[in-house]
Every structure is written in structure tokens, then in C-alpha cells.
């Protein structure tokens, strides 16, 4: 199934039904009085986060969602039937924005989270409501209200703990294959990854985390080169970024230092908040170098990049160094969760 992470749709709630102006007419009851019922409520439109859905493909071609209007009221105190509500199901991690002003309506980050997008119009009042001691035969009634309508933009941000960054062919897909059960495409040419891949890394029986692999960036991504920045949004929810660098490129003209600097610059140009996330430097393909050359290239990269986070050397192909990296990530995630829990408790106490 094709991965779709953006969609623009229009939601139109149902109008309320009109109230009725009616009088009771029965044998032997010449002055039965008003008995017009109210109109039914129009159908509302809700949006629901569902963990069983992982793409917005359902909204790729079906763009307008219109709820039914409420039925009109009738005589004999009959109220109109309300219109049925519509529930739109989207993946967990979907952002809902107003297309007109780009305001964030909701961040559906939890399974089962549901919000109202467009409220159905209220039904009109029948003449039953207008009778009084001075108005025995009211002919007034009200029309149903119009339902709300809204143009919204859906944007999926996958839920992952760790995100992978790097140039095409740096070994991101090989790494996620090595440490998880995910099986993304791997080949000896660039851009084998065309859509995000998620892998669950099982550290032990009680600890695991999710890694997101996105298509590789290249210099000029901000101007649309390669696949551009369109998939970087999927790293927004991560708490740690792994910048994977190929220290033994097959192309002799390729410079790992300049490639790594280009990735960091593209990240900074895309989003300062994402740029400031914890970022570890992962030097891949060490199995292709002898020990002296390996040490020389590692030292050159560390000095040139002035990385503020840890540096790990791995071989995604053979698995060398991967297990130590996984344990380090698990420890980082444990500390991050404890810190986040304390901040949440302090926030709740302050209120």
C-alpha cells in the first residue's frame, strides 16, 4: 500500500431540520391546539486516532465528507430524526490544521483520541414551543441551523523514539534491518528508501523502542533536491537523532566530512527545534577499513564536525558495535522518560 502522509479534505456538518407548524385535528376535539414537533439535529463530523491505520491513503481521493441533515419536524408532536454522525479514522500521530489560517486544531498523539471537527446544526422549534395563554394558536416555527464546515489539512508524523539521518547509501536501512525485524529495501544504489520505515528494537523482555528510517537527504534538499524535506516531519516526535555517516564510501570523490556537514545544515534550515534535538554521530562501514585508516578517518570526522553528542563506530552489515549502541540508546530513553515524567508531574502540581 502506498504511504500517504498528507491530505487536504473538506468536512461539512449536516443542517438541522426545520420545526413544524401543525395543529391537532381529531374528531370531537375541535381545538386541539398546536402539535408541531422540532426538527432533528444535523450530523456532526468527528476525527478519531486509530492505531490500526498507518497511512492517510483513504483521504487521497475522497476529499469531501458531508454529514446528513436532520429531518423536519411533523405534526402530532413528532420530532425529526437527527442526522448520523461521521467519524473519520486517521493514524495515531496525525496533526489536524485549519487550511485557511494554518492553525493547529488537534494533535492526535494517542490511540482513541477523538475531537469534534464540525458540529451539526440544531433543529428548528415547532409551534408547540410558542403556545401561551395569550397565543393559543401560534403559527410560528423556526428553521434549522446550518451545520459547520471546515477545510482541514491532515499531516502524519510517525510515532518513533529514535530517528535516522544520513545521506543516501549511508547504511540507514541496513542498520534498521540489523537491529530490528523491519525489512526495508537495501541495494548498492542511492534512494532505495522512498518512504519512512519503522522498526521495533527489542532490548530485553521489558524494554524496547521504535526507530524511524526516512529517505536520505542530500545537499540542496531545501530547494527540493532529491526527495527534499518532505519526510523530515516524521522525526519531529523523536527524542534522539542518529546521524549515520559512511566513512568508507565507494566513490573516491565523495567526502564524508562535507557530506555530514551538508546534512547538519539541511537539518538546521528545515527546523531549528529539530536541529537542537540530541544528535549522536554514528560512523558506519568500519568493516571496510583496516585499523590505522579507520582510526584516522574517525579522528578527522570528530574534529571536523565538533559533535556534542556521543560518537559510535559500527558496521550495519556485520553487526559490529550495534549491540553497544542499542544498549546506550535504551539507557538514554530510560533517562528521557524519567525526565519527561518529572516535568509532567511538576506541571500538574503548578495547576
| Residue 227 pLDDT | 47
Structure-block grid coordinates of residue 289:
577499513
> 78: which strand partners?
74
Alpha-carbon distance 118 to 206, whole Å?
42
Report residue 320: phi and psi, to 5°: -60, 125
- Domain edges within the chain: 1-24+31-156, 162-350
> 213: which strand partners?
164, 197
| Residue 191 pLDDT | 46
Among all chains, which residue has been given the C-alpha cell 401543525?
22
Q: Which CATH superfamily is domain 1-24+31-156 in?
A: GTP1/OBG domain (2.70.210.12)
Cβ atoms 201, 212 nearer than 8 A: no
Max intra-chain CA distance, the chain = 111
Cβ atoms 108, 158 nearer than 8 A: no
- The fold for domain 162-350 equals Rossmann fold (3.40.50)
Q: How confident is the model at residue 3 (pLDDT cuts 50, 70, 90)?
A: low
Structure-block grid coordinates of residue 209:
523502542
Report pTM. 0.74
Vertex 350 angle, CA 347 and 351, to 5°: 95
Tens-place pLDDT, residues 42-69: 999 999 999 888 888 888 888 999 999 9
| Residue 153 pLDDT | 93
Nearest to 241 by CA among 160, 333, 165: 165
Tens-place pLDDT, residues 211-264: 888 776 655 555 555 445 567 777 888 888 898 988 888 777 778 888 888 888
Alpha-carbon distance 313 to 329, whole Å?
14
Q: How confident is the model at residue 189 (pLDDT cuts 50, 70, 90)?
A: very low
Query: HSE on the CB side for 113, CA within 13 Å?
Result: 15
| Residue 291, C-beta contacts closer than 8 angstroms, at least 6 positions apart | none
Tens-place pLDDT, residues 322-341: 999 999 988 888 888 777 66
Tens-place pLDDT, residues 256-298: 888 888 888 888 888 888 888 888 988 988 888 888 888 888 8
Cβ atoms 154, 6 nearer than 8 A: yes
Alpha-carbon distance 210 to 163, whole Å?
9
Alpha-carbon distance 27 to 22, whole Å?
16
Tens-place pLDDT, residues 126-174: 988 888 888 888 888 999 999 999 999 998 888 788 888 888 878 888 8
| Residue 168, C-beta contacts closer than 8 angstroms, at least 6 positions apart | 190, 191, 192, 193, 215, 216, 218, 226
| Residue 81 pLDDT | 92
Cβ atoms 33, 136 nearer than 8 A: yes
Beta strands 279-284 and 94-98: pairing type? unpaired
Across the chain, mean pLDDT equals: 83
Cβ atoms 78, 109 nearer than 8 A: no
Amino acid at each position: 500500500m502506498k504511504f500517504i502522509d498528507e491530505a487536504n479534505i473538506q468536512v461539512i456538518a449536516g443542517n438541522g431540520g426545520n420545526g413544524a407548524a401543525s395543529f391537532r385535528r381529531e374528531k370531537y376535539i375541535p381545538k386541539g391546539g398546536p402539535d408541531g414537533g422540532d426538527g432533528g439535529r444535523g450530523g456532526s463530523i468527528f476525527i478519531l486516532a486509530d492505531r490500526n491505520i498507518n497511512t492517510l491513503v483513504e483521504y487521497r481521493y475522497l476529499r469531501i465528507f458531508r454529514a446528513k441533515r436532520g429531518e423536519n419536524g411533523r405534526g402530532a408532536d413528532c420530532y425529526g430524526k437527527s442526522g448520523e454522525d461521521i467519524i473519520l479514522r486517521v493514524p495515531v500521530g496525525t496533526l489536524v490544521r485549519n487550511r485557511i489560517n494554518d492553525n493547529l486544531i488537534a494533535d492526535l498523539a494517542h490511540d482513541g483520541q477523538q475531537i469534534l471537527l464540525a458540529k451539526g446544526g440544531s433543529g428548528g422549534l415547532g409551534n408547540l414551543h410558542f403556545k401561551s395563554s395569550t397565543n393559543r394558536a401560534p403559527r410560528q416555527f423556526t428553521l434549522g441551523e446550518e451545520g459547520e464546515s471546515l477545510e482541514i489539512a491532515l499531516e502524519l508524523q510517525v510515532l518513533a523514539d529514535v530517528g535516522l539521518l544520513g545521506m543516501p547509501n549511508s547504511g540507514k536501512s541496513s542498520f534498521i534491518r540489523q537491529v530490528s525485524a523491519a525489512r526495508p529495501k537495501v541495494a548498492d544504489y542511492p534512494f532505495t528508501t522512498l518512504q519512512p520505515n519503522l522498526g521495533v528494537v527489542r532490548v530485553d523482555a521489558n524494554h524496547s523502542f521504535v526507530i524511524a528510517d526516512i529517505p536520505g537527504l542530500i545537499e540542496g534538499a531545501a530547494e527540493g533536491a532529491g526527495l527534499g524535506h518532505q519526510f523530515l516531519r516524521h522525526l519531529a516526535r523523536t527524542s534522539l537523532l542518529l546521524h549515520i555517516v559512511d566513512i568508507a564510501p565507494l566513490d573516491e570523490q565523495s567526502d564524508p566530512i562535507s557530506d555530514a556537514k551538508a546534512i547538519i545544515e539541511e537539518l538546521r534550515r528545515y527546523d531549528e527545534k529539530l536541529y537542537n534535538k540530541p544528535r549522536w554521530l554514528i560512523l558506519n562501514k568500519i568493516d571496510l577499513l583496516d585499523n590505522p585508516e579507520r582510526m584516522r578517518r574517525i579522528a578527522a570526522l570528530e574534529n571536523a564536525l565538533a559533535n556534542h553528542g556521543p560518537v559510535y563506530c559500527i558496521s550495519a552489515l556485520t553487526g559490529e558495535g550495534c549491540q553497544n549502541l542499542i544498549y546506550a540508546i535504551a539507557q538514554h530513553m530510560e533517562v528521557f522518560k524519567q525526565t519527561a515524567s518529572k516535568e509532567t508531574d511538576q506541571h500538574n502540581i503548578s495547576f
